[in-house]
Amino acid sequence: MGIRNPKPDQLEKIATALGLNVSVFLDFNIETVGDVLSLLFSIDDSVNHSLAETSDQKIALTFYNPTMQDFFKKWCQFKNVYEKEKAEILDIEDEDKRQEELDKLNATQEEWKLRAMGTTIGCHTVVKKGTNDNVIKTYNLT
């Protein structure tokens, strides 16, 4: 056994067969502001959205695709519950028990992300500029 690096078309076939988005297998290696900006510029070039400054001088990024809007609502709800549970766990005095609970919580978060990317939202809904909202791509594994 050794390390293998499947070609992009092979990764897409594997991901599709598993009902996942191919991005599950990719590591974006985001470490710098430049890395984040690169992704944001790519989103700007590809996805129907708007970017605006709010009255309290924050920045709002709005996606026009209803599927994306629904996903972000669910993500906000999940993050709120996650942050509340994390705060409660950090109050646990026993270090081993605290770490055990943090590990469980982080595993739940990773599972949530994988499920989100593996659903129709993450896998097949087209959100590129110039496409109709919620167009579903179909994949042929042959």
pLDDT at 2: 66
pLDDT computed for residue 123 by the predictor: 54
pLDDT of residue 14: 80
Higher pLDDT, 124 or 24: 24
Region of poorest pLDDT, from 39-53, 97-111, 124-138: 124-138
Q: At 76, is the secondary structure helix, strand, or coil?
A: helix
Q: Where are the domains of the chain?
A: 8-136
In this prediction, residue 29 carries a pLDDT of 79
Measured CA to CA, the distance from residue 71 to residue 90 in angstroms comes to 28
Element (DSSP H or E) covering residue 63:
strand 59-63
Rounded Cα gap, residues 38 and 30, in angstroms: 10
Helix/strand/coil for 96: helix
Q: Range with the lowest mean pLDDT among 26-30, 76-80, 111-115, 123-127?
A: 123-127
Provide the pLDDT confidence category of residue 137 given band limits of 50, 70 and 90. very low
Highest mean pLDDT out of 45-54, 92-101, 127-136: 92-101
Report helix, strand or coil for 125. Answer: strand
- Asked whether 36 and 30 are in contact (CB, 8 A), the reply is yes
Question: What is the predicted pLDDT for the residue at 70?
Answer: 85
Structure tokens at 38: 């690169």
